[in-house]
A and B are shown apart, each in its own frame.
Chain A
Amino acid sequence: MKQIAKTELDTLFAAITAEQKLYIPADDSAGQAQFTLWRPGLALSGRLNTARSAKDLFFPQVENLVGFRMHAGAIERVETREEPEDFVIFGVRACDCRSFSILDRVFLSEPVDTFYQMRRAHATVVTLACTRPEETCFCAAMGVDAADPAGDVTCWLEDGTLLWRANTEKGEALTEKLPMLRPCPADAADAQQARTRALMQKLPLAKLDLSAFGAGKTRALFDRPEWASLSEACLGCGTCTFVCPTCQCYDVEEFRDGSSVRRFRCWDSCMYSDFTKMSAGQPRPTQRERFRQRFLHKLVYFPENNDGVFGCVGCGRCLAKCPIHMNIVKVIKTLGVTHA
């Protein structure tokens, strides 16, 4: 365990930046935290979490795949892939850090998504333990310990001091390059952890019961009549999907100008009416089916294919951002009540 005074964070960030790119949560012009490329003077946000999730750095909203160009009657392939540089992402919360492992299950299993794989390989994840959770947080219900996040390095911010613990080889390697980190007792974070854990238990959603969900529950949940009322107000926008740290669907599109084509992928949302639309039409014709797809995917289908792991990390972004305040918690609570 190492430590550094909070006042010296700039020195730490500068040292990291000297070697590689550094992203930290910083407030944007609208006052929300976003992962932002650090430059001298950029302050660490005081907010609990970023508005957009940390997945953006591994799975950006738009990514060029390949290009083609017509040239003198022939078609020429244009390489658009860019090898990313090493980067550090600092201040990842436990929930978002957990989301990486969920995304890894999707993108790093065969066939491996090399774009995602490349970014993961180049990244060092420095997490930051939570101390003041929001009422919308329910990570505990998803088995995430907000007081002890994973990552290559774990940090705690306590009384003007940043505590630093390297967890992995990558983490150690980074630590070695940062001489300003001074050693400290291994139990320096224990008190804070205990406080946080106690606080987590007091959150309104701490006791979220997930027993009705998980692998094998498709039949029990698929035709529940409550889907109709749950989805009736849904606008079919992609807000929940796009702020979600675990949503991983994308569409492949092309940008054409008549003589050249740029093929790119971009986030897609299962809430969109044209999601996976095919020549025969939409497989999920109404918002009810699309809504059901999203939540059953997170709560049933994903665990079914991934050793029981839920496709949700309890970050609470969808609770805060949904225009009509419909969210996974309401779904869990409504459908968690089993019929007699």
Chain B
Amino acid sequence: MQGVKEKAIELLRSKSVDRVVGWKAGEFFYDLTPAVFTSVPEVEQSFVWSVFCAANLSKYLIAESRRGGKVAAFLKPCDTYSFVQLVKEHRILRENVHVVGVQCAGMCDMETIRSHGLSAVTSVAEQDGALRVETLYGARTLDRKDALGEKCRTCKSKKLAVYDELLGEQGCDEDNGRFLEVARIEAMTPEERFAFWRGELSRCIRCNACRNVCPACSCETCVFDNPDSGLRNKAAADAFEENLFHIIRAFHVASRCTDCGECTRVCPQHIPLHLLNRKFIKDINGLYGPYQAGADFDTKPPLMDFTLHDPEPSQAAVRGGGV
């Protein structure tokens, strides 16, 4: 997408905003850090928009929108859902944010690239829809889709839920089979499912990266950090607590999770955490009608709503969660 950096400069130069939230260049071509820019020189020097801008900037706006003045933020389609959800929950002050929507073709993920057996990567360049990956030990060309992170491979929508101005075209909902993996697990026997999750969740090191990156997990104090909650646990004190943490976390964000996929992206142990959230999303869609958290500012989240004739818990279990 052309013009992202230029837009940041224009917004600051015209003083229409006081700050810009974007991505800052790192040591390598891929290690971009979310950053707040306050001056044109800063942007010129280190603002980057590239295929490695996967981080969801919405959560930073909770604090930034309360810091006084106006802040501009560059939000990809998936980020806008988190943004709307946070505005809906009164976490972000909408009036203080200028949302620059940026259309996106999917973001590359370094861990995914490395998973193809590539190490010591020195550059990644787009070439005719494919990616040329240079390493210290030679070069290789990857299909673009093979370099995408999980969240982009199964992108739900290229439609921005909100923007004040848009770079690129407004997109549409996508169908990239984001529930296929959930359905695959649902089709397993209980023993297989248990073994699957035991294998995945037992790798958890409770680093809290999934929670801390999650826009829906923006609690002042998490129940798992709060000694008065009776639930605090810093590390999994037993085999069960890994499950407990992830189930409760998924439940707390259920019907608020926009499926932005950040949890899985940041997990250092590569646990497919999005499969928990997507299970809830799939169930909600199937049982209570399609719902996309953060798609609008008004609809009640399904867990804070009901109808008189909702399915009974016993029925729902038999149905395996609908859809």
Contacts and interface: CB of A to CB of B under 8 A. Distances in A.
Whether A and B touch (Cβ < 8 Å) is answered with yes
A237 B207 contact: yes
A61 B205 contact: yes
A51 B26 CA distance: 22
Contacts of B105: none
A233 B60 contact: yes
A241 B268 CA distance: 11
A324 B209 CA distance: 10
B203 interface: yes
Contacts of B110: 320
Contacts of B234: 251, 253, 266-268, 272
Interface string A235-271: 1111101110000000101010000001010111100
Contact of B265 (A31, A243, A323): A323
Nearest to B122: A135
A236 B26 contact: no
B237 A255 contact: yes
Contacts of A205: 27
Interface string A219-237: 0000000000100110111
Contacts of B206: 61, 238, 242
A266 B205 CA distance: 11
A238 B207 contact: yes
Given A135-B121, A232-B35, A239 B266 contact: yes
Interface in A89-136: 132-135
B207 A239 contact: yes
**For the complex, would chain A's binding face be called helix, strand, loop or mixed by DSSP majority?**
loop
B304 interface: no
B235 A266 contact: yes
Contact of B209 (A233, A235, A320, A325): A235
Interface stretch (A170-178, A210-218, A326-334): A326-334
Contacts of B308: none
Contacts of A251: 234
A243 B207 CA distance: 9
A237 B203 contact: no
Given A132-B120, A266-B234, A239 B209 contact: yes
Chain B interface residue number, banded: 35 or more
Nearest to B135: A135
Contact of B200 (A29, A51, A233, A272): A29
Contacts of A262: 237
A193 to B, nearest CB: 18
B269 interface: yes
Contacts of B262: 323
A75 interface: no
A207 interface: no
Contacts of A243: 205, 207, 268
A51 B28 contact: no
Contacts of B236: 61-62
Interface in B245-284: 262, 265-266, 268-271
Contact of A235 (B205, B213, B233): B213
A266 B237 contact: yes
A323 B209 contact: yes
A30 B33 contact: no
Given A30-B203, A31-B115, A320-B111, A51 B268 contact: yes
B59 to A, nearest CB: 8
Interface string B54-89: 010000100000000000000000000000000000
A236 B114 CA distance: 25
A46 B115 CA distance: 12
Given A204-B28, A266-B237, A51 B269 contact: yes
B235 A61 contact: yes
Contacts of A293: none
A85 B35 CA distance: 49
Contacts of A325: 26, 30-33
Nearest to A325: B31
A32 B203 CA distance: 11
Interface string B92-117: 00000000000000000011001101
A260 B291 CA distance: 45
A276 to B, nearest CB: 12
A324 B268 CA distance: 12
A48 interface: yes
B34 interface: yes
A190 interface: no
Given A233-B33, A324-B55, A330-B27, A199 B136 contact: yes
A132 B55 CA distance: 29
Contacts of B205: 52, 61, 242-243
A273 B225 contact: yes
Contact of A242 (B115, B268, B270): B268
A128 to B, nearest CB: 16
A135 B207 contact: no
A79 interface: no
Interface of A: 28-32, 34, 46-48, 51-52, 61-62, 132-135, 199, 202-205, 229, 232-233, 235-239, 241-243, 251, 253, 255, 262, 264, 266-269, 272-274, 319-321, 323-327, 329-330, 333
Interface of B: 26-28, 30-36, 55, 60, 110-111, 114-115, 117, 119-122, 136-137, 199-200, 203, 205-209, 211-213, 225, 233-238, 262, 265-266, 268-271
Given A133-B120, A135-B28, A326-B33, 19 more contacts: A51-B268, A51-B270, A61-B235, A132-B119, A132-B136, A134-B119, A233-B33, A233-B34, A237-B208, A238-B208, A243-B268, A253-B237, A266-B234, A266-B237, A320-B110, A323-B266, A324-B55, A325-B32, A330-B26
Q: Sorted from nearest, which 5 A-B pairs have the closest CB atoms?
A: A266-B235, A323-B266, A30-B270, A325-B31, A235-B212
20 contacts: A29-B200, A30-B203, A30-B270, A48-B119, A61-B205, A135-B122, A205-B27, A233-B35, A235-B209, A237-B212, A238-B206, A238-B209, A239-B209, A242-B205, A243-B268, A253-B235, A267-B235, A268-B234, A323-B209, A325-B30
